[in-house]
A and B are shown apart, each in its own frame.
Chain A
Amino acid sequence: MFTSSVGKKLVMGLTGLFLITFLVIHAGINACIWANDGGEMFNKAAHFMGSSVVIRILEIGLMAGFLIHIIQGISLEIQNRRKRAIGYAVKLGNRGSKWYSRSMGLLGTLILLFLIIHLSQFWVPNRSHQGWLLGEELNLYDRMESTFKQPWVVLVYVLGCISLFWHLVHGFQSAFRTLGVSNHRYLKMINNTGIGFSLIVSLAFAMMPVSMHFNWI
């Protein structure tokens, strides 16, 4: 089932939706930085995420989700590009589809690059500090404050969030289409929800480094 082209899309859609749920949790926890308590609530939440066995096991699932989504996505992009050996002299471009829907591979790659930077700044140091066991964690709030002092980091994060926004605008509704939602009314609803969701999540994430950089919190 998952070796066929529709099956592969199904994998993309399912992992995509799974990653979307992760985004909700991630955004929710990180939003604690705006509690205006010097990072107390945020660190508590982060501690919960870092010290619970269950969550750490789920984290492995999340890793798998990312890896499958990324590997499958890259391989599909390569395969699809090979289906037209000779290209057109004049491209259809935006007359047939939105630029971002055609650029999922590119946007995904940008997000991947951002992800590597992001993980190396927070997740990797924290987990290596903890060791394999549920050891003591870093003060992530402090780490955020120091990291986001540097303007280039803020810029990279904002760009990453912009990529995420466009990736989600197409990915959100596309996933539901792949899962087989064909009712026009629902599709419209899903489309609007998708745009709203992408906007809120990307904006929330983008505002975190920005507000820290400018000392709004």
Chain B
Amino acid sequence: MEHYTMNLKLKVWKQKNTSSKGSFETFEVKDISSEMSFLEMFDVLNEKLINEGKEPIAFDHDCREGICGMCSMYINGRPHGPWHGTTTCQLHMRAFKDGDTIVVEPWRANAFPVIKDLMVDRGAFDRIIQAGGYISVNTGNAVDGNAIPIEKEKADSSFAAAACIGCGACVAACKNSSAMLFVSAKISHLALLPQGDPERKTRALNMLAQMDTEGFGSCTNTGACEAVCPKEISISYIARANAEFTLAALTSDK
């Protein structure tokens, strides 16, 4: 792989805090190596800003290996940038070339208020999980791990749904700011397992109700969520959750 350096122009959303009004600011960075990750490019920019006596850009990040789900930049009109199945932290500067202008915005949805610059509050996701995204089993209550065999296909499908990292890219991409991919992945993860069966109905009803309360929009099956999901979670889980909901609503008195 040939390495190269590039000079870039960055248009980044700056916002002091939740209540203030934000705007775009333009920055320039020089001699960015194609081997850097996108966030390392931001590190370079922030170091430069601090050295110039300016405020650095605040952004969320932690593991920088694509699994914690904390990084959340909307880069050139796409959550997590141009690469498919990739989080912002795993996006590398090879994706850009000298002279490019890159526009970076925070996740936009009323349910994800901006905290500062590119950081948003995704507490709504935690509250949706609190509404039922679990199996009620106290520590020590468990039977032997092999007591209930689980069809491999179902276990695999459950795992594929459980791969969700809760980053919120699905919401950011959706024209309706719907959280259906996130919610349906959790509903499906647990509904596909026999352990999740006893609470299946209340879980679907309560989680979806909480999703509405949090102010997410409704799903119109456009598929944008699936296209940008860094874990490539299938939109068919949304259909699955719809079925779970309908069944629960028709058969449960809750």
Contact = CB atoms under 8 A, between A and B. Distances in A.
Given A84-B177, A91-B77, A177 B217 contact: no
A104 B76 CA distance: 25
A180 B242 contact: yes
B170 to A, nearest CB: 10
A interface secondary structure, majority: helix
A5 B110 CA distance: 16
Nearest to B82: A95
A76 interface: yes
Contact of B222 (A96, A180, A184): A96
B105 A90 contact: yes
Given A84-B109, A89-B103, A5 B228 contact: no
Interface stretch (B29-37, B92-100, B205-213): B205-213
Interface string B213-254: 001111111111101100000011111111111110110000
Given A9-B242, A87-B108, A177-B238, A97 B224 contact: yes
- Which of A91, A93, A97 is packed against the most chain B CB atoms within 10 Å? A97
B218 A177 contact: no
A180 B246 contact: yes
B74 interface: yes
B173 interface: yes
Interface in A1-50: 1, 4-10
B24 A89 contact: yes
A8 B218 contact: yes
A83 B216 contact: yes
A102 B222 contact: yes
A181 B239 contact: yes
B219 A9 contact: yes
B227 to A, nearest CB: 4
B239 A187 contact: yes
A87 B176 CA distance: 11
Interface of B: 11, 24, 74, 76-79, 103, 105, 108-111, 173, 175-178, 208-209, 211-212, 215-225, 227-228, 235-247, 249-250
